[in-house]
Structure 1
Amino acid sequence: MALLPLLTIFVLLGGLRWKAHWAALASLAVAVVVAVAAFGMPVDLALLSATEGAVFGLFPIMWIVFTAIWLYQVTVVSGRFEDLRAAFHLISDDPRVQAVIIAFCFGGLLEALAGFGAPVAITGVMMMALGFSPIRAAVVVLVANTAPVAFGAVGTPIITAGTLTGIPYAEIGAVVGHQTPVLAFIVPLLLLVFLVDGVRGMRQTWPVALVIGLAFAVAQWFAATFLSVELTDIVAALAGLVAAVAMLRFWQPAGGAEAMERLRTERSDEAPADDAPGGGGPALATEQRTLTERAAALTAGRTLMAFLPYLLIIVVFSLAKLWTPLKELLTASDVSIGWPGLDGRVLDSAGEAVSTTAYNFQWLSSPGSLLLLSGIVVAAVYRVPAGAAWREFTGTAHKLRWAFLTVATVLALAYVMNLSGQTITVGTWIAGTGALFAFLSPILGWLGTAVTGSDTSANALFATLQQTAAQQAGLDPHLMVAANTSGGVVGKMISPQNLTIAATAVGVGGRESELFRRTIGWSIVLLLALCALVFLQSTPVLSWMVPTFP
């Protein structure tokens, strides 16, 4: 019974090809019925749980996505985005290499700073501007948004797991740092290049894809193990970018022009995505002034100004998350609100009131609010008129209207399942497999992230369960909690929330089911690889690979 809402949303999306918001609404209705009829939850509490989840979906999650896309739109209006494209073009004009650099490395940097769908939204429109078709751009950025997710939003998923389990989050992060780098190593070569240009692209670009993946993986392992969970993805993303620049100074792949021509032909065969952020304008503008010409005209000052928004974001988020005085000042403004009619009325198995019925309104400390402040500064520095910035603000809200509905509904579904006991039922069922649980453990994180769209939420749902199940099965709790986090990273690409964000960003809203069908296979393959890795890490075969703690 507890699986019915999950089965509903997957069947409606992948099988019947419903639009994401209708699939989410239907699944929410199933979850409410199951909560009331099968789990004995009072109707009013089930509905109130849904309202709290919906509000959480809108703020902070969609608030982060909305402000990230608006900031991007400000760069487009200013004309500086063309310089950013040209700067990436200076590194390589090969679309297969650009896919790795933008979707994987630059997307990893955005994941490190904001998370919650912002990387998919921003890199999706950037891929469109390079000439990718909408569907291909969306699939590439969804698949690329994997390995960085565990350490996304300045390490929030791992910090959440540590807070709930009592295990020092640095220790959990160190174990995750011995799992997700495997994904970081294989995703650029075996997935991204293949998705862009098939086996031919892999054969022609494997050296640079290998170098970027290896640099990202090693840096992620090193930072997670010896440096800082909060800085892991920032270090890894920058290492990948530096490796790309260094490699391409001495070697360039063949076939880039032919690959670009194939992509442009595919783009012209698809319906134009004129309502996407950035629309088709950037791609059409290259007909009049090629990227090569613009790149040749770039000066150091223009290049710095093109990267200004992202450098500013790095500074702002680093100060807000890592400088204790500012971090405490921002979090002091948070307002904890006991959800009316719900708070104190939902109990856990020990008879204690659960804490998730208290809504935390992060009006100032939210990454979305920090992105808004950054966007205002960027608009001022770029001398974008206030009227133009406001038009982009309202226009972005209009374009994201269905994404708002979908994400709010998916989080409502997650809250109903969580507070009614459906989620813990599914988790306990899987945990009852004993020693085999080591193989199945990542599936819990995968499911949690697939439903909520957030690895943080997946850890909030299952981290404690993973810890308890590990202790009962005689397994290492560090390993199982880390496996929950790592499993979640490959579930994000099929989350209805993320699918909607990607589809909306590239202007194909309503085609989420197509994106789901194109990504579900890759998600399952990567999940099985993680399951095998974690299982072997729980045995003498690969136990040496996992750090130990007293």
Structure 2
Amino acid sequence: MYHQNFNPTGSLGLSALLAALPLLTVLVLLGVFKWKAHWAGLSGLVVGLLIAMLPFAYSMPIGQALDSALFGAARAVLLILWITFNAIWIYKMTERSGHFAVLRRAFAGISDDKRISAIVIAFSFGALLEALAGGGSPIAICAVMLIAIGFEPIRAAVLALIANTAPVAFGGMGNPITILGSVTGLPPEPFGAMAGRQVAFIALIIPFVLVFVADGRRGLRQAWPAALVAGVSFGATQILFSQFNYKLTDIAAALVSAVVLVAFGKVWKPVETVGAVPTIAGGSVDDPVFVRTHGRPGGDSTRDKVVAFLPYVYVIVLFSLAQIPAIKAVLDKALVKPVWPGLHLVNPAGKPVVVTYDLPWASHPGTLLFVAGLLTALTLWTNPVKAYAATIRQFGWAIVTILAVFALAFVMQYSGQIQTLGLLLAGAGAFFAFLSPIVGWFGVAITGTDAGANALMAKLQTTAAGQLNIPPELFGAANSSGGVMGKMISPQNLAIGTAAVGLVGEEGTLFRRVIGWSAVLLLVLCVLVFLQSTPVLGWLVP
């Protein structure tokens, strides 16, 4: 039996320094020494295991420390790989059949300007994917689509990572908010309402960042009206829907922003068109893949366009059906929750920590994507086995990165390292309102998911709120809202991004391209949450 101790050295500052070493190892090796992500992740895991096991640190038994790592890797298979593999598998089948080229031309046809197309694809369409699936799939799919409309691979990955921020707090049909409620024992609805009043301000900024990354200062000067329309429509919809149904927030925001931006494009054009992707006219040939790749002389047929969009229609329909109460109840009955063997933990209050491997195999987003993939294979008449094999080969070392980082996350959680870092920040008193989003940011940077960060840190956040006589929904929501900025620097999401664009091993380069934006957006949110804890913006708290 391992008794968790969140301050093993007797000095919270020293304990927190030890607890931070695994995180610093990963970030420094990635950003400073430019190591490949899988080596940085494995090195961080080794350091995390040492800190967990050493007698002058957390004194966790070797067997339980290694078992924690194994549990984390197993969770990565379910929470990341099973979702992302199936999302990329669907894309691979559309690519092999030639229908992805049709889809690309359809999105390119939204605007002659690729800066505006980038907002529609990475921001609006990416938010829809995040709302339905999450798990890195928006990063992977949108990055590939951005390459198709003319962006170089590394810039496409940067755009996809930055765009995958504002919708994350409500991703997976509001799963991070649901977890906030389950972990804290409080109703999730107030957390959702509060999160909507935080991330909406980030959503207002993101389209401006996207046009800057896409085309520098010229992009801001010429495309700012489109960025404003996209940000305002998305953020306003988030605020509205999060007040009464947080699970539908991202779906509504994604669709409204896309429709509004497309309509705006009918009456407004930038003074200069940048990077238009022409439709290449093709000859009369028999190969349907060649025709779809190079374009028909008269343009893509209505049937081709419908078939190209069908895989994503399948995704939307399946995920929507899974939320119907009667169907959801049936799917939820398939939940399997075996107790993970070998982990015997007791928290500092003396209560046992039961570790279960929750396996909602029927309702899991990855399973729904897999079903959508089977329907896609039947629709496109392509070989699903070869496409799946190509997907796994594409990820390569990224799989190791994802497994290693998730293993580290659970070693840190079960040994007590994560809680130590949270306690140090909670000791900041009223200033904790400024630091609260940073707790979520660290959680997502390590776990790669907002839901995972909420599971780790939500109780700490609401406890701190109680000590400071602040509504718990403010800090709970701040954990989820702050976490979204950590997603773009999370090693496993960096690995997903580089794998999607064919640059496995360039995670350090990608990290350096996004870390600044992550820090700036986090600072904005920290200031916002601090003001919401004061009379200045306290009226925004439900």
Q: How does 1:491-502 map to 2 (within 5 A)?
A: 491-502=486-497
Give, as a single letter, the amino acid of the residue that structure 1 aligns with 2:221.
R
- For residue 350 of structure 1, report the CA deviation from its aligned partner: 1.7
Matches within 5 A, 1:453-532: 453-532=448-527
Whether contact under 8 Å (2:489, 2:511) holds in the other structure is: yes
Change (3 A) 1:413 1:112: same
Distance in structure 2 (CA, Å) of the matches to 1:370 and 1:402: 26
Pairwise CA distance, 1:323: 1.1
Aligned residues of 2:179 and 2:455 also touching (Cα < 8 A): yes
Q: Which moved more, 1:457-466 or 1:402-411?
A: 402-411
- Taking the TM superposition and a 5 Å limit, the aligned residue runs for 1:48-63 are 48-63=67-82
Asked if 2 retains the 8 angstrom alpha-carbon contact of 1:103 and 1:144, the reply is yes
Contact 2:108–2:149, Cα closer than 8 Å, also in 1: no
1:253 counterpart (244, 263, 270)? 270
Tell whether 2:309 aligns with 1:307: yes
Query: Once the 2 structures are TM-superposed, how far is the Cα of residue 287 of structure 1 from its aligned partner?
Result: 13
Contact preservation (8 Å) 2:102, 2:293: no
Deviation at 1:169?
0.7
Query: What is aligned with 1:197?
Result: 215
Amino acid at match of 1:175: M
Aligned to 2:350: 351
* Residue pair 1:448, 1:457 contacting (<8 A) in 2 also: yes
- Structure 2 distance, partners of 1:65, 1:133, is 22
**Separation in 1 of the partners of 2:74 and 2:412?**
16
TM superposition shift of 1:412: 0.3
Contact 1:70/1:396 (8 A) holds in 2: yes
The one-letter amino acid paired with 1:239 is V
Q: Distance in 2 between matches of 1:199 and 1:358?
A: 50
Q: How big is the shift at 1:508?
A: 0.5
Select the residue among 198, 202, 206 that pairs with 2:224.
206
Contact 1:54–1:412 at 8 Å: present in 2 too? yes
2:260 maps to what in 1? 243
Equivalent pair of 1:157/1:455 in contact (CA under 8 Å): yes
Q: Which residue of 2 aligns with 1:422?
A: 417
In the TM superposition, what whole-angstrom CA distance separates every residue of 1:290-323 from its partner, at most 9, and x where no partner exists?
Answer: 7xx77x6244443332221112111100111x21
Q: Which residue among 148, 152, 157 is the counterpart of 2:176?
A: 157
Which whole-Å CA distance do the structure 2 matches of 1:171 and 1:394 have between them? 44
SS in 1 for 2:353: coil
Q: Which of 345, 363, 385 is the equivalent residue of 1:390?
A: 385
Q: What secondary structure sits across from 1:340 in the alignment? A: coil
2:15 counterpart of 1:16: no
Alignment-derived partner of residue 166 in structure 2: 147
Give the direction of change, closer, same or farther, for the CA distance of 1:42–1:70 in structure 2 (3 Å limit): same
Aligned pairs (5 A) from 1:308-347: 308-320=310-322, 322-342=323-343, 345-347=344-346
Report if the CA contact (8 A) 2:71-2:410 is conserved: yes
**Separation in 2 of the partners of 1:136 and 1:287?**
26
Is the 8 Å Cα contact of residues 292 and 300 (structure 2) preserved in structure 1?
A: no
Match of 1:73 in 2: 92
Q: 2:135 matched to which residue of 1?
A: 116
Per-residue displacement from partner, 1:80-107 (whole Å, max 9, x unpaired)? 2122112112211211011111011000
Task: Summarize the alignment of residues 285-304 of structure 1 with structure 2, pairs less than 5 Å apart.
Answer: 289=294, 297-304=299-306
Normalising by structure 2, we get a TM-score of 0.92
- Write the letter of the residue equivalent to 1:313: V
Q: Note if contact 1:28-1:409 (Cα within 8 Å) is conserved in structure 2.
A: yes
Moved more, 421-430 or 470-479: 470-479
> Gapped runs of 5+ residues in structure 2?
1-17, 278-289
Aligned-residue RMSD, C-alpha = 1.7
For 1:411, the equivalent position in structure 2 comes to: 406
Residue in 2 that maps onto 1:278: none
**More divergent stretch after superposition (501-510 vs 91-100):** 91-100
Name the SS of the counterpart of 1:92 in structure 2. coil
> Whole-Å Cα distance in 1 between the matches of residues 218 and 320 of structure 2?
41
The match for 1:360 is: 358
2:379 counterpart of 1:377: no
Equivalent residue letter for 2:206: V
Tell me, what secondary structure is at the counterpart of 1:350? Answer: coil
Query: Which residue number in structure 2 is paired with residue 172 of structure 1?
Result: 191
The 2-side partners of 1:336 and 1:477 are apart by 29
| Alignment: residue pair count | 512
**Cα pair distance change 1:287/1:396, threshold 3 Å:** closer
Whole-angstrom CA distance in 2 between matches of 1:30 and 1:423: 14
Deviation at 1:337, TM superposition (A): 1.8
Maintained 8 Å contact 1:58/1:404: no
Partner of 2:8: none
Q: Tell me: CA distance 1:45–1:378, structure 2 relative to 1, closer, same or farther (3 Å).
A: same
* Contact 2:457/2:479, CA 8 A, preserved across alignment: yes
1:187 aligns with 2:185: no
Are residues 288 and 361 of structure 1, via their aligned partners in 2, closer, same or farther at CA, if it must alter by over 3 Å?
Answer: closer
Give the CA deviation at 1:325: 2.2
Q: What code does the residue aligned with 2:45 have?
A: L
Task: Give the unaligned 5+ runs of structure 1.
Answer: 262-284
Alignment CA distance shift 1:393-1:237 (3 Å): same
> What TM-score, normalized by structure 1, do the two folds share?
0.91
> What amino acid maps onto 2:239 in structure 1?
W
- Deviations for 1:419-463, whole angstroms, at most 9, x for unmatched residues? 000000000000001100100000000000001100000000100
Partner Cα separation in structure 2 for residue 448 and residue 256 of structure 1 = 41
Letter in 2 for 1:326: I
Deviations 1:483-523 (A, max 9, x none): 00000000000000100000000000001001111111100
Query: How far off is 1:288 after superposition?
Result: 8.5
Amino acid at match of 1:350: A
- CA distance, structure 1, for counterparts of residue 100 and residue 481 of structure 2: 33
Alpha-carbon shift at residue 256 of structure 1 (Å): 2.2
Q: Kindly tell me: are residues 60 and 287 of structure 1, through their superposed partners in 2, closer, same or farther at Cα, counting changes over 3 Å?
A: closer
- The aligned residue for residue 277 of structure 1 is none
| Equivalent position amino acid for 2:498 in 1 | A
Match of 1:33 in 2: 50
Match status 1:215 vs 2:213: no
Which sits farther off after the overlay, 108-117 or 358-367? 358-367
Check conservation: 1:60, 1:362, Cα contact below 8 A: no
Give the letter aligned to residue 341 of structure 1.
G
Which residue in 2 is equivalent to 1:84?
Answer: 103
Q: Could you tell me how far 1:79 is from its partner in structure 2?
A: 1.7
**What amino acid is the match of 2:75?**
F
| Contact map agreement 2:108 2:114 (CA 8 A) in 1 | no
Paired amino acid for 1:232: T
**One-letter amino acid of the structure 1 residue matched with residue 321 of structure 2:** L
Tell me the distance in 2 between the aligned counterparts of 1:289 and 1:406: 37
Give, in angstroms, the shift of residue 224 of structure 1.
0.5
| Aligned counterparts of 2:456 and 2:84: Cα–Cα separation in 1 | 22
What is the CA–CA distance in structure 1 between the aligned matches of 2:112 and 2:146, rounded to whole Å? Answer: 13
Note the C-alpha offset of 1:130.
1.4
Q: Distance in 2 between matches of 1:211 and 1:250?
A: 13
Superposition deviation, residue 76 in structure 1: 1.2
Counterparts of residues 99-114 of structure 1 (less than 5 Å): 99-114=118-133
**Matches of 1:147 and 1:456 in 2, distance apart?**
14
Question: Hey, what's the Cα distance between the residues in 2 that align with 1:168 and 1:130?
Answer: 43
Distance in 1 between residues matched to 2:214 and 2:41, nearest whole Å: 30
Q: Distance in 2 between matches of 1:136 and 1:288?
A: 23
Question: Structure 1 residues 377 and 287, CA, compared in 2 at 3 Å: closer, same or farther?
Answer: closer
